[in-house]
Amino acid sequence: MPFLTQNAAGEPIVIPIGGQPGLTGGRGEEGRSAYEIAVEVGGYAGSEADFAAMLANAGSAETTVTLVAATDMPGGIFAAAVGSGQARATAPADPASAAGVAIGYLDGAAAAGSVVTLRKSGRVRVSGAAWTAGDSIFLTDYGAPTSTPRTSGWAQQVGVGTGPDTFDLAIDIAEVITPLITLDAIGSVLLQALTDVVASYAIEPPDQPGVLWRNQTLVALSPNSDGSPYTAPYDTGAADPIAALLPVIVPRVLRSLPRDPPTLAGVLWLNNGRPALAPNADGTPYPARPLPTSGSPLLRATRSALALWLAATVPGLPVLLPVSSGALWRSTNLLAVS
């Protein structure tokens, strides 16, 4: 069986051990005990009793995993796999990071570079805990066990309470929590997101039909090669919680835009029912700029969803003035709201 340990210099090594190590002091197939091989081959400097305890704690591949600590880690936390064969404290608050997914429990503190054995089964005692038998155990932001479910980041059950301060390890599949998105929340960032998206459109006519661009100050959809309006089946774009609200909130925001030309360049306004981006002081179109990546997570997500939604939705809008007010349509090739 291979045994992952470290040499006298503290470097992680894997020691191949022939046959079953058996009891402490027993001999393997090569006539040497596992402890002797660890000392002679790997430079293990601990006592024979410590080595036996490590083998006992290592368990099988089904109940433990052995990695190298990427950073200093406190004991009593869950760890995640990072890099190549490394572990760090689980950080479930970040849904974009694999470091938010727990793979095992670390009983004692570990220094960066040391070999750590993470448990995937067995009982854990947490001093001062106040859960009850049957409670589901989850993760805090820094990877400690708690009976309080998470509301953001990664959701992962890691155990089941067995008493006031104990729980049995039972690490489940992790899933990213989808936040509850409301109209008010989207409305608070949509004007900025819409301004950013419109400002990202090119100011030169596209070569292909059905591409959004800015015709001087107005949002336009490039026509067919014969000049007729480009049309395509109506599509709501990407299916996500933000995109689902855009058909309702976008017309509201457009109708709330000022009707008088702004004095500042790059500001959205409503020019005879058509959203426009105020030009530079000399009358030239406001320059196209890349879609920003800064701002709050909600603003960034709204920008991305809005860009996809407009590209998918505008080609399917009616080209005749709607009877009802507050509806999106296309005045020839220009985006408009009735």
Give residue 176's pLDDT.
82
Angle at 203 between CA 210 and CA 334, to 5 degrees: 50
pLDDT of 15 > 80? The answer is no
Radius of gyration of the chain (CA): 30
Place of tokens 């509850």: 180
Average pLDDT over the chain, rounded to an integer: 82
pLDDT of 277 > 90? The answer is yes
Alpha-carbon gap, residue 138 to 156, rounded angstroms: 6
Give residue 79's pLDDT.
95
Lowest mean pLDDT among 27-36, 251-260, 284-293, 321-330: 27-36
Alpha-carbon gap, residue 253 to 187, rounded angstroms: 8
Give residue 54's pLDDT.
47
Residue 219: count of CB within 10 angstroms of its CB: 24
Single-letter amino acid, residue 326: G
Can you tell me the mean pLDDT for 81-94? 88
Can you tell me the mean pLDDT for 105-116? 95
Can you tell me the mean pLDDT for 171-199? 88
Lowest mean pLDDT among 42-51, 154-163, 310-319: 42-51
